[in-house]
Structure formats: structure tokens, C-alpha cells
Structure 1
Amino acid sequence: MTISAAESAFAQRFSSPDALGRTLAAIGQREPVVFDELMNAPVVLRHRDVTAALRDTATFSTRFYGMGPMHGAMVSLDGADHQRLRRIHNRFFSASASAKYAQAVAPIAERTFGRLATMGEVELIEQAIARYPMEVFLTLLGIPNELGDQGLAWVRAIVTMLGSPMDEAATGPGLKAYAQLSEYTSGLVERERHTGGDNMLGEIIRAFEAEDAYSAEAVTASVVSLLLGGLETTIQMMSATVSALLLHPDALARVRADSRLTEAAIDEAFRWANPSAGLYRLIMRDTEIAGTALAAGSMVYLCVASAHYDEDVYADPGTFQLDRRAGAHLGFGLGPHFCVGAPLARIEVVAALTTLLAACPGLRLDPSAQLSFYYGARGFVQHGTDALPVLT
């Protein structure tokens, strides 16, 4: 089955964040794999097929990332090389390091979201959420505030290139931005190694040294990878969580009454609102999924959004349920390439949501606004919204 670009669910706008997953899952009930002309690849729609492919990195590889400037980055590696880098990353995302990061993030969340209480009408993304992850990274890495807007521009160009490997128009700007961001970061790494600061950049350097794997290039690649993976994804993760709660006042009231439900709200929002719609993979050998032949050297899109609405896995998937099993989503990926920055993303969103709900007890959607959720929000290959108008 082929779906034209004009008919693709990825080209549609919806008034609720659950509509993309529901639409794609309905197709998946009839056809487990379809060719979507907009995505320019076969799209795998059923949960069992998506999860099997994510675990099978020998067949469904991320190595295409290594064909460009991210050669040697963890996302582009498999096997022993990937395991070694994963071990290094686990060092600077240890429980003790994460606790230290959480202490540093809390005042940033307070500055960003605490001030909204007196503003009355707020466009939450542009006025608060969009710049929050960058400030977190600047603080944790000890990077001067001068990077700010320039850093966001570099990241936007690079993520657009990496998330749209079939779009040649994104390649030139993406490569240029990657070179500029890497050069800037390399200078920070060299200075930090000599000063030995008590920040995340220092933790990263010490982790590489502990594994006898330090080089300025390796640390630079690691830092750049964190920036690329942790900015817009966190923005849409936060937007998805707030949107889901505001669209479900009963769930919002429960989270307000019991902060222990905050993590559950984040996990269910990651499933229900699908900020991570899916992932491209490079097929390394001829294979098939659900009877559909896939040729070595071609690309496939593993659709997380539709998998999250697979009725064989999720009871009543269209309902936002705080009591679902924690972590029962694919938003951070699965298998060897499970998102290494997930601990930091959780720290950021928990701190932001906790502060926002405490500062704005009357937080609600602006009834005069029309919400719009779509794939490609804010110009990135994420599913979400450009704007979230609320009353505080």
C-alpha cells in the first residue's frame, strides 16, 4: 500500500496530540507496513514489528548517521564501540551525577516558570518552554550565555539535517552548522580540561579519562550529541506533558494533589501525545517485516506514534491513564540505542512541571485559542505544537 504525500498523516494538522497516533494505528490494523511518499520510506506501524526492529541493530542500523559529520558519535555505532561509549556516558549520568544536575536545574525551572504566575495570558512555548533546555545546558556545561540564540540556530539546522536524511536541501546548512558548533565546543573542552570545573562538562571529560578514551574530538562529539538530542526533544516532551494534562483536568488535579504522579504523567504523555513520532533506520541486509520485503541499503521508518496506539499492547490506547505501567512507551527508543540522555530529560521536565503547577494553580488552556499538533512542529522532525496558549 502506498500513501501519497498529500494524504499522509504526517502532513496533517490535528486539534489534539493523540490524533496522529490514532490515525496511523488505524492504518496499521489493515496494513502493517505502508510506503509513505512524504516520509519517502516504508513505514512500520505495529508495535511488535517496531520493537523487534529497534532491538535488531544488526539489520536495522543507525549507521547512516555516521555517513556525515557524526561519524564516530554513539548513535552511529554498534557492537563493542557502541558499548564502550555507552559505558562512558553512564558514568556522567550516574545517580550521584544526576542528583547534582537536578540541584542545578531546579533554580532554572523556578526562574523560567515561576514568573508566569502574574502574567495572566501566556504563550507557554515561546515565553518559557522553548529556551529552558538551552539555559539548562549552558548552566550544566559551564558554557557562556553568549552561545544562546546562535546555539539554537546551529542545533536547528543540524537536527533538521539528521532527522530528514532523505532531504538533500537540509544537508548544506546542516553540515555548516555542525562544523561551527563543533569548533566552538572543542574550544570549551580544551579550556575545561585545564580548569577541571565541577560541572557536566568536567564530568564528561573525567568519564572519558577514566575509560582511557579521552580526546578533544571524542568529548566534543559527545557534547554536541547531547545538545542535538536534548534541546528540541525536551521542548516537545514538556509541551506534550503540559498539553496532555490540560486536556485532561482530572489527571491534572491528581498530579497537583500527589507529586509522586509526576513521572507517570510524563511517561503517559510521551505515549499519548507522541513527541517522538518515529525513527529512521538503515536496512543492512535483505529482510522482511510482516510479509513486506525490505532491501539492503534502503531506509525504513519505525513509527513509534502508531505503535503507541496498538490495541494489542495498550488497553484503551486513546485514553490518557496515569495508572499505566511506568515506562510503557517507546519515546526514548528501545534496545541498544535507548536514549542516553533520558535521565537529564526527565530531570528537566520534572523540575519544570513541578514549578509550573506550583506557581500557577489556575493553569488552564486559553478557551479562545485553537490548538494545532503536527509532525514537523517548530521546523523539527518532532510531533508537537508551535504554540500553547494558556491562562495562569
Structure 2
Amino acid sequence: MDPEREPLAGGGLQRRPVAAARGGGAQEPPPRGQQHAIHADIDPQPRPWPGMQKLAIAAIVVLGCLQFLPATHFRDPADPRRNWIPFDGPRNPTDSLNEVGSVDVFSWINCLDLRTLAVLTNSTLSSSSDPLNISFHFLIPEGGNDKLPYHKLKVVLPDSNLTITSQKQIKDKLNVATPEGNFVWSFLKELSPLVIATTQFSKKRYVYASADSIIKGKIEDLGRLDLGIYAIAAVEDCSKRFGDYVSMDVLNAIQRTATKTWMSQEPYDKDTCLLDLDVLLVEPRKLEKNLVTSIIWWANAVNIVNPRDRVRLAIALAFYDKYLKLPLNWKRANANADILNYDGPKNVCSEDGRQHEQAGYGEIWHQYLHKKSEAILSA
């Protein structure tokens, strides 16, 4: 058979191209859509696009520089989805810890007794799940030695983070020579949770706890609450209500005739509760600049015989519909509450400044203060 002939499908023969049969000549082009294979031993080296090497070097340099930019997002290890979360806080690590991680606890004590402060500190730390991020700031009566109480507390509670400051700094800030400053200084028992804010505007927020307290709850749950638009968060004290102190006709008449910026636009409710001042969460920067003025104005506007009840009512009226309500478990009620009364012996001061010891009536305080520590603090 002719080698240049191939059988046809129908039995006939066709002639092959001579060049193809003999392996010489040009090959047929590949089908459309298919690329030529590169034969390294035959085809010339492909040429890169002009400037491509310079572009690649520039891209490497840019990506390297991006590594020096500050982080904008992070991943929470506890998040199973490992979502990226933006950093909303300040870039300063100290400020970030102060505003997000740490909790500042302030307390004001009118008659110095280190036993109560030690129990407050130790009970708070013992109940906390994050004790390393809790700081205590105690304001003690002026005239004493601030360093000695500090050293005594550090001996008893060496791992605590605390500062002790004289109340003189508050007094100097208030300028008690003025009627406003003298009024506030006369009612520090009621106003101290708010007065502390006058010297703490560098703090984003703080928790105020009454010095004669045993904390059973987690203070960080309070310190990290979202206050939203409010400046304070407080527990309601419904043992007394507006209607128990003042006639609502009188209060409505005051509302109609007075044109003050702090006056509520809605009618006051006679069943509104007062504020419990044993525990407060305060954001100093959100407090109204005329807060003290409004409290003094309300104290003069309502006619109540007991001056301390008058001030408590004035505080509640100044914050009418302007505070976040804390859970009721942060009100002293029973042994299951998150805050209890200090039940040990303590120093009390009379109106004339004389000091004497009041006997204790309970045993809970012993859980947070050893007898040897009590001896050190009482000396």
C-alpha cells in the first residue's frame, strides 16, 4: 500500500500531505483557544512587561512600610469566630487601661477608721474576678498624716492598689468661703459621691462606695457599665418617695413659675423614688456644670424641716429622669445583696468632732480582716 495514502472511513484512500508524513515542514496551528507550550530548549526567554520589576519592588516597599502603622483592629481570643474588632479607645496604653480595663473605686470617710477601709478593700477584691485591675482612692479627714494610714493598709493588704488623700484638696477646690462651697461642705455625707468629681475630671468614670460597706458583688460589673447618655448610675431608694416629702401641688407650682434649665419638661411623679447614695457610678465629664447650683436651688425651693432629707430630695430632683438605674441587688437589703453594712467596731465622730468607738454587732467583717491585722490598724 502506498505509504502516502490512508484508508477512508468508507473504505477509500486519501493522500497525506508529504511534509506531514515525513515529519518535515510547518505544523498545523493549534486549535483556537489553546496556547503554545513553551519549550525551554527551543523557544526564546519571554520578556517581562516594561517597568514590571520596578513596580514589584515598589509594592514590596509599600507593604513593608504598612507594618509600621499602629494596629486598628484586634481579635478577641474568646470569640470562636475570631472576628476583627476595631479599636475605639485611645492609642495611649495607660489611658486605654484607665478607660476600659481598670476600675477606680472612691470612698469618703468622715471619721477615720482604717478597719472599715480595709474591710471595704478586701471584700471588694475577694469578690472580684479581676482584682488586679481595681484601684482604691480614699479621701480621709484633713489634719492627719496621710502616709501613716497608707503604710498601715499596705502592710495588711500588700497586693492592693490604693491611694490615700486628704479631703483638703476637695475643700480647696470648693472654696468653702463662698455660700455654694459652704453649703456643699455642710452636707458632705450626702454630696461627697458627686463632689469627688470636681477633682477627678481626668477620670473617665469611677465607682463611689460608702466607706462602711462590705462588697459581695463584682465591682467591675458596675465600673464597666455603659451609661449611654447619663452621667451617673444609682440604685433607687423607694423607702421614701417624692410625695412623702413635698406636696405635689407645691412642686407643680414651682415647675410652672420657675424657668430653670434643670427643670423637667414633664410633670413630676409623686411616686418617684429617691437615690440610694451608697453606691454610684459616675462619669465626671458628663455631669452638668450647674449641677451643684441646681441642687442648692432645689434645696431652697422645697420646704422640708430635716435639712438632710431636703438635700436628698434636692439631689433626686436635680437628677429627675437623668440617671441609669442600677440593679436592686446593689441596695443594702439582706445577706444576699451585693453590698452589706459593715458590722464590725468602728470609730464615730460627733458633731463637735469628738471621736469614740462604736461596738460591732456582726461577724461578717471577720471574714475580711484578721485579728492581727485589726491590731495593726487600731494602733
* TM superposition score normalised by structure 2: 0.25
* TM superposition score normalised by structure 1: 0.24
Which structure carries more relative contact order (alpha carbon 8 Å, separation 6+)? 1
Q: Which has the larger radius of gyration?
A: 2
